[in-house]
Amino acid sequence: MKGTNIIFNTDEARIFFEEMKLAGNGGLLKKELQLFLEEIAIQFLTILQNAVQGDYGEEYRAMATRNLQHSFMREDSASVFELDAEALSATVGTNTEYASHVNDGHWLNPGGVEKRFVPGHWTGPPGDSAAQFIYEPGAETGMVLKQRWVEGRHFWEKSLEELEKLIPGFLEYKMQQWLDRYFV
């Protein structure tokens, strides 16, 4: 969502690893934490991509969300993916302008407009539930949108909930790996 990102707070982990410097190779452990943070950020992007792609029924079947889904890829130009190794923080998100509309919901038409014509064409025959509408400015064909509320997918919130469930298991696994590697 444009201007909306997530920041992973690692203050407690940072304090733990500062204390661990006395017990082992602190620089190595910090590097491991940086790699772990990057893995978590990449995992969150994967979760977001899957949530955007999810099946949301007829309401969204005609909506092409490929650009939004790709904007949650680290290499995409619309992606926000920033790692601060020193602060042990990651910021991920998207600069895709319509992301908040897909996430939060939106009205099909501007206020006071009951119907409007959108130029374009369908990728399949009428009635084909797999067909998608392709916006094409200036086209003589298209569709008429009647004013109504389109419920949001809430992919951002669902993805955060999923990540929050996964982090304890990831952290426990990584901690055991670190302990086995550096303190055996």
**Where along the chain do its domains lie?**
5-105+151-182, 109-147
| Res 87: pLDDT | 85
User: pTM for the full model?
Assistant: 0.72
Using CB atoms within 10 A of its CB, is residue 29 exposed (0-12), middle (13-18) or buried (19+)? buried
Model confidence pLDDT, tens digit, residues 59-77:
555 455 778 888 888 888 8
| Res 62: pLDDT | 47
Task: List the Cα angle 72/75/78 in 5-degree steps.
Answer: 55
Model confidence pLDDT, tens digit, residues 125-174:
877 877 888 889 999 999 999 999 999 989 999 999 999 999 999 989 98
